[in-house]
A and B are shown apart, each in its own frame.
Chain A
Amino acid sequence: MKRSVIYNSLIFISILIFIARGLSMFYSEIIMSGSYSMRIDRDFYRYDNKILMLGDSHSMTGLNSEIIGDAFNFSSGGANYMKTYYKLKYILNDKPRRFKVLIIPFDLHSFASNRSDVLMDSYYWKKYVNYWELGLRKKNLPAYLTEYLRGNYFPYAGEFGNVYLYFKDGQQNVGKEKYRKVIKGYMIDDENYSKKDKMKLARTRTEEHFKGTKSVDEDLVFYFNKIVSLASGHGIKIILIKFPITDEYYSIASEMMQVDKYNAQINSLVEGKPDMFLWDYQNFFFDKDYLFSDSDHLNTAGATEFSNIIKDRLKSEGILDF
């Protein structure tokens, strides 16, 4: 092989890597820095509170950190127990923190198998998730390593939508969600479910959560137990919340899964553990559809009412006495 061929190939690849790194930094540090995930992330490391809320959009839109007091809502949309575990692990390894109470969702869809393979938003999760470990656990190393590469080197791959929005509207509009105000991680949502086509919305949501899935996925149970071990190892109390849902969502979900069997199965994960509390508010707002933004997410009014309930219960049960 000619020397010039090797020389040219090396220069070509070097320029390629240089452009790729530049684009990667531009996407992660500039385009996506306005996304709610990144804003919350920056906020989190500025505070140090007694109560930490983790989990998915149910906790993100359902618990107002300011009402609960001395709390930070560090939930992320679509975060399953795997991601929650890695986030918790990262936080605990990062530096000593004050928090001794962890609140996470324990909902009908929390263990559903279609949540067990959430490979997305790697530009954000690359910091937390150990893709190698997860790939081995899931017996799908190529997919998880691809996600690792994507998060670290090609976060813009396939994300033309965000690039377009950035150049069109600036940072105000990027990310999966449109620009929304967040208060210490709690995301404000002013939609009103009662004014929407409720049955259609509930069916769409339940199908997203339950259609063709196994109600209890072994990998999610495995990572849930890891969260429990990790938290108890650090003397952290865990409060599992079954978040309020609408009766439409509940009734359609009941057609798609055996709710009683599911509850019995997941409740057994909690039994006999003194530092774990299971608070069930699933049907608490069945007759108050105006407190929801869709069939299974609380809106601002709902989050206010619900956060006050949680705050009072935390006090009355003496959980914050430490």
Chain B
Amino acid sequence: MLFNSISFLVFFVVVTTAYFLMPFRYRWVLLLSSSYFFYMCWNPTHIFLMIFSTLISFYTGQYMARAEKRSTKKMCLVLSLVLNLSVLFFFKYYNFINDSFRIVFNQFNYSYVLPSFNMLLPIGISFYTFHTLSYSIDIYRGIKKPEKHLVIFALYVAYFPQLVAGPIARASKLLPQLYEEHSFDYDRVTDGLKLMLWGFFKKLVIADRLAIYVNQVYNNPSEYHGAPLIIATYFFAFQIYCDFSGYSDIAIGGAQVLGVDLIDNFKRPYFSKSIPEFWRRWHISLSTWFKDYVYIALGGSRVHKWRWYYNVFIVFLISGLWHGANWTFAVWGGLHGFYYLCSIWTADFRERLTAYFRLPEYPFIRKVLQVFITFHLVLLAWIFFRASSISDAFMIINNMFSGLSNLDPDSIWVVGKAEFLVSVMSIVFMECIHLVQRHKKMRKFFSEKPLGIRWAVYYLIIFSTLIFGVFTSNQFIYFQF
């Protein structure tokens, strides 16, 4: 059941209505059963994997809390990590690693016979595995007490608004909210609905329309040179942002309607002035997860500087591979790791350079330059993220700068002039909203306006979404992760 489907709208209305009509003590039944139903709409059998992961994490957590010896606690943690990661590894990475080994062995004329498995990647497995892992690690570290009720814990793992693509909620934040009694709060509900509406707009109008252009070019990279490749790359940067942040807005808004606050996942990331800042504003729930559970576990920055560089790089590499079992994602992660390290290594040099050009006297120009450079570094990395293979990515980079003299408009439109113009205008519109939102959230801004203006804006967004949206049930990009 995709968020951008009628089925989901019907499902959400039914669940929300039932939720507020139902006595508090039975609400967990509704939420858990509807979350499982939501998940089973993709593939009913995959629910068993989620239940397995839930049971393992719950019971190892219980034993961990009861154990007195440090070694027993550690054993429980290892058991939880190994079992949860084994499932993730098998379904997500087995074929990738197997195929990679096969290629290497074939290079040296050795026979390699381990079979591949033709299996579907369970939706959201990377997300719910991270939910359960963070829970186990938090208990081991003593940050969190174990959850007493299995069903509430199961609900934490399966909570439908954030089940398939995050935001990755922490047990310490989400579990207490599942115990709270939420009565119908008009302001909170309408605020959540507005956020959902904005998410639908970003997904259906911007992301899916940009996808038409991007898919056409990136799926046939050898047929394009120059401008279309450059435009498609810019478009992809906004497509993936709108796709994922649109999903996050729907998830956060949906949870808000039901009385639960989820973590913000994006804070206008393309306005970042450096790569480290970009990672504080892009997919925040994942970045903080990696920081708390991998980077710090490796020693963080409180180690010898070479070890610190290694820690930074390895976290980005793992983050890349978390996105998908393909070398393109590893390169994407590696590239960001490299950027991050470069930003550390060149900090003094950049300071001297800006002083030489007297940029501190012109803070606005300095900021624009920083944002411009950061955005284009991110853009370069997106090429590897989107390309089907590394060789395709290099071909795209190579072909981008050939044929630039041919700026025939017909070759630039690719999928039609009107489509192209709507795509550009929708990006401009969104960025204008972002600029306005620097000072005040749009939802708050409009809630202070007279009723007529507010409603006019809502109708405008609803019908713009309907008319300009793309309704071909396009999956969210992050569903595949």
Asked whether, in the complex, the Cβ of B186 is within 8 Å of the Cβ of A1, the reply is: yes
Instruction: Please measure, in the bound complex, the distance between the C-alpha atom of A157 and the C-alpha atom of B418, giving whole angstroms.
Output: 16
Known contacts: A23-B463, A157-B471, A158-B470. The answer to whether A164 contacts B418 by CB under 8 A is yes
Which residues of B from 138 to 171 have beta carbons under 8 Å from A?
Answer: none
Residues of B within 8 A of A158 (CB): 466-467, 469-472
Q: Interface extent on A, as a size class?
A: 20 to 34
Question: Could you tell me if B471 and A1 are in contact, using CB atoms closer than 8 angstroms?
Answer: no
* Contact digits for A237-253, partner B, Cβ 8 Å, 1 yes 0 no: 00000000000000000
Q: Does B459 contact A (CB under 8 A)?
A: yes
CB A64 to nearest CB in B, in angstroms, measures: 32
Q: Does B109 contact A (CB under 8 A)?
A: no
A5, CB-defined interface residue at 8 Å: yes
CA of A92 to CA of B212, assembled, Å = 41
CB B413 to nearest CB in A, in angstroms, measures: 13
Q: Would you call A139 an interface residue if the criterion is a C-beta within 8 Å of the partner chain's C-beta atoms?
A: no
Asked if residues A16 and B462 are in contact (CB atoms below 8 Å), the reply is yes
Report if B75 contacts A (CB, 8 A). no
In the complex, residue of chain B having the shortest beta-carbon distance to the beta carbon of A149: B6
Distance in Å: Cβ of A265 to nearest Cβ of chain B:
28
The reply to whether B6 and A146 contact each other, CB–CB distance below 8 Å, is yes
A145 to B5, CA, bound (A): 11
What is the CA–CA distance of A154 and B416 in the complex, to the nearest angstrom?
24
Q: Which label, helix, strand, loop or mixed, suits the secondary structure of the A interface?
A: helix
**B471→A2 contact, CB < 8 A:** no
Docked CA distance A313–B472 (Å): 44
A263 to B463, CA, bound (A): 48
Which one of B458, B462, B468 lies within 8 Å of A160 (CB-CB)? Answer: B468
Question: Distance (Å) between the CB of A10 and the closest chain B CB?
Answer: 13
How far in angstroms is the closest Cβ of chain B from A121?
A: 13
B459 CB contact (under 8 Å) in A1, A19, A157:
A19
Using Cβ atoms and an 8 Å threshold, which residues of chain B touch A164?
A: 418
Complex contact B467–A157 (CB within 8 A):
yes
Give Cα A114 to B346, complex, Å. 56
Residues of B within 8 A of A20 (CB): 463
- Give bound CA distance, A154 to B204, whole Å: 15
Known A-B contacts A16-B462, A161-B416; the reply to A142 vs B5 at CB < 8 A is yes
Q: B184 in the interface, Cβ–Cβ < 8 Å?
A: yes
* Residue in B closest to A161 when the chains form the complex, CB atoms: B418
Residues of chain A within 8 A (CB-CB) of B451 are 8
In the complex, B419 has a CB within 8 A of chain A: yes
Asked if A156 CB lies within 8 Å of chain B CBs, one says yes
Confirm or deny: B107 has a beta carbon within 8 angstroms of a beta carbon on chain A: no
- A24 CB to closest chain B CB (Å) equals 10
* Contact (Cβ within 8 A) B455 A15: yes
The one of B419, B458, B469, B473 that contacts A157, using a Cβ cutoff of 8 Å: B469
| In the complex, A159 has a CB within 8 A of chain B | yes
Proximity string of chain A (1-40) to chain B, C-beta cutoff 8 Å, 1 when within and 0 when not: 1100100100010011001100100000000000000000
Question: Does A150 lie at the interface of the complex (its beta carbon under 8 Å from any beta carbon of B)?
Answer: yes
Query: Contact flags (1/0) for A155-185 with B, using CB distance below 8 Å?
Result: 0111111011000000000000000000000
Whole-angstrom CA separation of A228 from B462 in the bound complex: 45
Q: Within 8 Å of chain A (Cβ to Cβ): is B422?
A: yes
- Interface residues of chain B, those whose CB is within 8 Å of chain A, are 5-7, 184, 186, 416, 418-419, 422, 451, 455, 458-459, 462-463, 466-473
> 7 A-B Cβ contacts within 8 A?
A1-B184, A5-B186, A142-B6, A158-B467, A158-B470, A161-B418, A163-B467
* Apart from A8-B451, A146-B6: 14 A-B pairs, beta carbons within 8 A: A1-B184, A12-B458, A15-B455, A15-B459, A19-B459, A142-B5, A142-B6, A149-B6, A150-B471, A157-B467, A157-B469, A158-B472, A160-B467, A163-B467
